Structure 1
Amino acid sequence: MRALACLLILTPAALWAEDIPINSQVAAVTLYPQGGSIVREARFSAPAGQHRLILADLPESTPLASVRVSVDGATMGGVALRNDYVPPRDDETDAALDAARAQVEQLEEALRTGEAGVARIELEQQAAQSRVAFLEQLGQGESVAGMDAAALRDLAAMIGEETLAARQAALDAGLRADAADRALKDLRDDLAKAREALRALVPQDTPRAMLAVSVDAEAATEGRVTVSYTIDKAGWQPVYDLKLARADGALSIQRGAFIHQSTGENWSDVALSLSTLRPSEQTTPGEIWPWLRRIYDPEAIRPKTLMRGAADGMVEFDAPMAEAAPMVQEAQARFDGLSVSYDTPGTVSVASGADRLRIALGTLDIEAETVARAVPLMDDRAFLMAAFTNESDEVILPTGEARFYLDGRYTGQRAIELIPAGGEAELSFGPIDGLRLSRVVEQRSEGERGVITRSNGQQERVRIEVENLTGETWPLRLLDRVPYSEQDALEIDWSADPAPDTTDAEDKRGVLAWSFDLAAGQSRAITLDYSLQWPKDQILQ
């Protein structure tokens, strides 16, 4: 590192002779859904005595407050950190990067040469077309009016021969230009691939932070410096392929992770571990504060008023104020009772700011119960649902990268919520076009109800029908709703034929559920009646 050596030459000899520049590299990474922990390692050789080990290759964004250092092979003293006024590094050369740039330049030059050849052929075509246009005008001028018959025959023959030759030359040039342009297709494809390869090689030319570690060696030694710190410009996102075999209810959840990092340096052959911990989110329980309640005389609670006093003429009175309790912002609760770590086999390489890297995390095999879910109020067809219990010891994390397959066919991508170990879930694997739904309001009336009670009312009758146009029997769970009230003055009565199997289904008030098997070619109808009654001076919402 010539730049660092020049800086050290300017310092007193008693100091620079003790400084030992060393290079470090990322050895291990633990990634969280947001952020991560880095472990760097650097080898050193030092004679006996006191020295400073200088690492000038940490990313500039390294949070210096989180840096922790350990030394093997010598006794560690103080640690100095800085990310400003760091000596500039020598330009790093990368053979792969240089080769990729050279390949792009070579292909670009070849493409320019080829396209120039095509352009020259097209010029030949244009020249031949210009000759044709000239010959067509030659026989139309006034100069031919005084020519005798023999001269006209000679002129006509010449125009015909030259026009034919010019048109043939234009056609030939057009065919050669097309062929030459098609021949450049492979070259253009190679250039596009070379440019993609060049973009994937991210040069590490960003500023760096510096770390100086004081060590004391009793004898000449070879050792290792380990530096660990946290980062925030990296993380991982779970990705799942959920594959359902409807015949036996076998559900296969193929787990994976998308890795990304923008730390300013490339990770090459690092040991990678993924953790479900979320240190960047809430890590302590919420605080409960005393809840002070008071009552007041309504007449005493009024704005500040001015009243005439005996001494100074004006006396200011304050209305009583309730004691203010601390305001605590409530965050959305997240399941953190189980943390899972995934250690990837071997090592991985991830370029800074490059495309996401996908890593496989194994497969969970689960038995699921399938049922057709019908919601006529919202849909015109039923959907295939798979209900299951996560019997593994691992949490299925929330993600928007979940792809669903039914009997090998892709049915769509949807987000899924967190499913803890032992938790129950129900996932949709797409519509069943042969299970058709209809919901028709057959009767609706509203108006005054009674002369004495002076109340308003509303009645409605709904006919729900599901028809099985498939060639097999389907277990169905049909959901609908009736209104509910929390006011004594708003009276609601309802009835259903047939009666639902469950009321307040899925812990939702007024939601009704029917469960039944529907054979192929059959249909099932449900009639739902409900009425509302409320005082005339009130408005229904």
Structure 2
Amino acid sequence: MFRLTLALALACSSICWSWAPIAHASSAVEGRVTEVTLYRGQAQITRTVPIDGAAGRREVVVSNLPEQIVPNSLFAEGGDAVEIRAVRFRTRAVGEEPREEVRKLDDEILAAQQELDLTTKRQALLVKRTEYLAKLEGFIAPTAQSDLTKGVLDAEALERLTTFDFAQHETIATEEVELAKQARTINERLELLNRKRAEITAGASQTIREAVLFVQKQAEAPTEIRLSYLVSNCGWSPSYAMRAAADGKHVRVEYNALIQQLSGEDWNDVDLTLSTASPALSAAGPGLAPLHVMLASDARDQDPFGAQVAANGPSDAAQQAPQQTEVYFGRGLSKSQVLGKLEGLQSQKLEYSNAVGNAGNFVDVNRFSWNLNDVASNYQQLELNGDATTLSVLRSEANGDSDGPSLSYRLGSGVSLASRTDQQMVRIMQTNMESQFYHVAVPVLTSYVYREAELKNTSDEDLLAGPMTAYLDGRFVGKGELPTVARGQKFVVGFGANPQLRARRELVDKSDSVQGGNRETRFEYRLVVENFSDQPTPIRVIDRLPHAEHGADIRITLGETSDKVSEDALYVREERPMGLLRWDVEAPADAAGEAARLITYKYAVEYDRKFVVSAPSSKETLQEEFERLQRDRQKR
């Protein structure tokens, strides 16, 4: 199997093309698109090109390549029956012979242009007539004044001249209006004719993209080659539909792909593969460089941004500090500053990683590999110099799914996708997953009680993060987001609010007391869940205690509870230490009013009586913590 990239082909083309005359003239073929691997922003297309005729050397031109082709991605493969000697990409301009309807339009345009020219000349003639009358008036008036002074004025002749003058002005004005109207009409007709001609001749002159292959056919039997290339302006994203029956025993998961296809060629009856990887032209991965370090004085007191001061002395430090401001950035930074730096590093990492994959030669691969090493060195310096805040951010970001897994879904043959602006949807997978339905009540936030289902991905595919629509018993209940779910992993899907359930939170009692220098405040709360249906319903009731950032300053103690707090392992590990309370209870059928399901609990807060309890002034870190908890709740 032979595989030549365009760069290699161009390097040896001068040898391959000149070593001997071509035995057979070039033949133009299109081939057929048989395989498509669709990435997030590009696609790799494979055309099967038939090669017929006698054995020997020949030039094969594969025509009508798409507009969005990436030229340096072109390569060809041949089997034992045909050897690929060179591949190159070319463009050329072509045009069509004028058609009869175009000729007729050209004749009409010419006639209209001649009419417009005649009208323009007539308008110019009217201007000259007006100028002549002005000169005539300049002659008549002085002459009449002179004749009147001498007593020889011919009144009858003066009257005829005056009448003639005014009549001519009136005629000129009428003709000017008529000619201006004719000019507007002709211009409108010309514009319409030109527009029609442009519509008919659109695409008559165009650029053709072709692949020129120089091949050695080994035998006379028909054979074929595979021509592959990348195209841009296409991609896909996941989309889900979750359909649950009224009994809640199963959820049918429909995994779809929304496809954007504007490559410039249609894909008809192809073997389609969807991939989350990045297409790569380079076979070699990036190389790892040693991480060199040195000691430098800690000059954070002088440099609020944490600039490094060189160890060689103040003069060197003054010269190096501006360039080394970003070197020593592990300590004294807020969480938002660390996140900002990480975001920049991750963006550079993605850019250089893609560049390595698309590099076509040894020099470029090494250059982009060095850039990747430089980014990694900055990241490792965060680890080396980082204080507690920095390391906390690094740990939380390391557990994220920002890059996501590299997955491929082979949909098989028979998929057709036209090149068009509308999004097109294809089905990746459809399967039933066993589900455990329950309800979630958070009365401190809302009186509504929401349905949730815990599912386990029992399919043969990983599920990518993406939007979803939820249906219950055939009815649309809402939209949401699905996280990335591995095979065998559990996840949670919401199915909207249940109108037959209500929840509320009531403060039953509050008491204050002072013991020595401390104030102690005791609270008693009642959580009320009403079930208006005729079926008992499992509900997770969630509330919260205040969570003290510094336990030595504020002591918060949970007292008596009417129901046992949940022992769910994930809840106990992740949420209970943050002061969140959860009870897994069942609301009886028709439990409303006096029969409502009640949960009561007490807690106490003790602190120095000289202070009051206050919320933190900065909400940014707290919001990030909340978002992390929400992501964890979606995946079990």
1:463 paired with 2:526, answer yes
SS of residue in 2 equivalent to 1:327: helix
- Report the CA distance between 1:272 and its aligned residue: 1.9
The equivalent of 2:546 in structure 1 is 483
Answering whether residue 443 of structure 2 is matched by residue 438 of structure 1, we say no
Q: Say if 1:49 and 1:366 are closer, same or farther in 2 by CA, change over 3 A.
A: closer
Q: Write the letter of the residue equivalent to 2:44.
A: S
Aligned to 1:79: 87
CA offset digits 1:104-146 (Å, max 9, x no partner): xxxxxxxxxxxxxxxxxxxxxxxxxxxxxxxxxxxxxxxxxxx
Mapping of residues 389-404 of structure 1, within 5 Å: 389-400=456-467, 402-404=468-470
TM-score normalized by the length of structure 2: 0.54
- Tell me which amino acid in the other structure corresponds to 1:42: V
Structure 1's 57 and 502: CA in aligned 2 closer, same or farther, altered over 3 A?
A: same
Q: Distance in 2 between matches of 1:222 and 1:405?
A: 54
Q: For 1:513, which of 559, 582, 587 is the aligned residue? A: 582
Question: When you count helix as a share of all residues, which structure comes out higher?
Answer: 2
Give 1:524's match in structure 2, choosing from 573, 597, 616: 597
Quote the Cα distance in structure 2 between the aligned partners of 1:204 and 1:342.
39
Structure 1: distance between partners of 2:40 and 2:301: 56
Residue 72 of structure 2 aligns to a residue in which SS?
A: helix
Q: What is the CA–CA distance in structure 2 between the aligned matches of 1:360 and 1:296, rounded to whole Å?
A: 58
Report how far residue 213 of structure 1 moved: 1.2
In structure 2, distance between residues paired with 1:366 and 1:51: 56
Of 65, 82, 90, 2:72 maps to 65
Structure 1 residue 30, shift from structure 2 partner: 1.9
Q: Could you tell me how far 1:29 is from its partner in structure 2?
A: 0.9
**Which residue of the other structure, out of 413, 420, 429, is the alignment partner of 2:495?**
429
Cα displacement string for residues 304-335 of structure 1 (whole angstroms, at most 9, x for unaligned residues): 9xxxxxxxxxx958489896483249785358
How far the C-alpha of 1:467 sits from its partner, in A, is 1.1
SS of equivalent to 1:355? strand
How far apart are the structure 2 equivalents of 1:33 and 1:511?
Answer: 39
Maintained 8 Å contact 1:473/1:519? yes
Determine which of 23, 37, 41 is the counterpart of 2:44: 37
CA RMSD of aligned residues (A): 4.3
- Tell me: CA distance 1:248–1:301, structure 2 relative to 1, closer, same or farther (3 Å): closer
Quote how far apart the aligned CAs of 1:420 are. 1.1
Percent identity over the alignment is 22
Gaps of 5+ in 2: 1-17, 98-202, 308-313, 330-376, 381-396, 617-636
> Displacement of 1:52 after TM fit?
2.0
1:327 to 347, 358, 378: 378
Q: Which amino acid aligns with 1:519?
A: P
1:342 paired with 2:347, answer: no
Q: 1:221 to 1:444 in 2, by over 3 A?
A: same
Give CA-to-partner distance per residue, 1:49-80, whole Å, 9 cap, x none. 43322224222432233222023543321222
Kindly state the Cα deviation for residue 291 of structure 1 after the two structures are TM-superposed: 8.7
Indicate the structure with greater strand content: 1
CA apart distance, 1:242? 1.7
| Whole-angstrom distance in 2 between the partners of 1:506 and 1:376 | 23
Among 359, 372, 379, the alignment partner of 2:439 is 372
Question: Contact 1:81/1:212 (CA < 8 Å) preserved in 2?
Answer: yes
In the other structure, the counterpart of 1:199 is none
The 3 A distance-change label for structure 1 pair 215 and 535 is farther
Establish whether residue 419 from structure 1 lines up as the match of residue 485 from structure 2: yes
- Looking at structure 1, the residues matched to 463 and 54 of structure 2 have their Cα atoms a distance apart, in angstroms, of 53
Matches for 1:77-476 after TM superposition, within 5 Å:
77-82=85-90, 86-89=91-94, 207-217=207-217, 222-247=222-247, 249-275=249-275, 277=277, 318=317, 324=328, 326-328=377-379, 332-333=400-401, 339-344=407-412, 346-400=413-467, 402-442=468-508, 453=517, 460-476=523-539
CA distance in structure 1 between the aligned counterparts of 2:302 and 2:406, rounded to whole angstroms: 54
- CA 1:317–1:219 in structure 2 vs 1: closer, same or farther (change >3 Å)? closer
- What are the Cα deviations for residues 422-459 of structure 1, in whole angstroms up to 9, with x where unaligned? 1011212121111111123455688x956x63x66765
**Separation (CA, whole Å) in 1 of partners of 2:96 and 2:271:** 27
For normalisation by structure 1, the TM-score amounts to: 0.62
How many residues align? The count is 400
